Amino acid sequence: MSGVAKHLGEALKLRKQADTADMDSLSGKTVFFYFSASWCPPCRGFTPQLVEFYEKHHDSKNFEIILASWDEEEDDFNAYYAKMPWLSIPFANRNIVEALTKKYSVESIPTLIGLNADTGDTVTTRARHALTQDPMGEQFPWRDE
């Protein structure tokens, strides 16, 4: 297993579907881990911007987003995730979210970190800031210099 898949195993599930996502569907893409939670006011402010970007550019810019939720209650997770059109690490796999939080030294949310899905190499650790500065994605995928 390589790239992003080594961090996730079979943890992904599609929104509002019980089926797991096919890891092959991530191949060749930039994958963004979106660290967020329903109880976080800045997250609730940023999520609609991210949804809009996703819906406008998902197909043309060849990327995927995976929610890595910091919610502590499954009902809160489910209600928040219902507003999102992308993939998620299931609530039951919070240990994966905890491991990713440590690996990428996430100290606050919302945080959006981009990876090369095939290699697992970090593309950007500042995607949240970059998206707010470049909402049309002209500099996408906002590579760290």
Is 50 labelled as part of a ligand binding site? no
- Residue 24 within any structural domain of the chain: no
- Residue 25 within any structural domain of the chain: no
- Residue 87 within any structural domain of the chain: yes
In which element (H, E) is residue 43 found? helix 41-61
> What are the b/e assignments for 57-87, b being 16+ CB within 10 Å?
eeeeeebbbbbbbbbeeeeebeebbeebebb
- Residue 70 within any structural domain of the chain: yes
What string of pLDDT tens digits covers the 145 residues of the chain? Answer: 467 777 776 556 544 445 667 777 888 999 999 999 999 999 999 999 999 999 999 989 999 999 999 999 999 999 999 999 999 998 988 999 999 999 999 999 999 999 999 999 999 999 999 999 999 999 999 998 7
**3-state DSSP call for residue 33?**
strand
The residue among 62, 30, 65, 25 whose CA lies nearest residue 46 is: 65
Is 7 labelled as part of a ligand binding site? yes
Return phi, psi of residue 29, to 5°.
-105, 165
CATH number at residue 89: 3.40.30.10
CA distance 76 to 31: 24
Is 58 labelled as part of a ligand binding site? yes
- Residue 32 within any structural domain of the chain: no
Q: Which amino acid is at 94?
A: R
Structural domain range at position 87: 1-9+38-145
State how many domains the chain has. 1
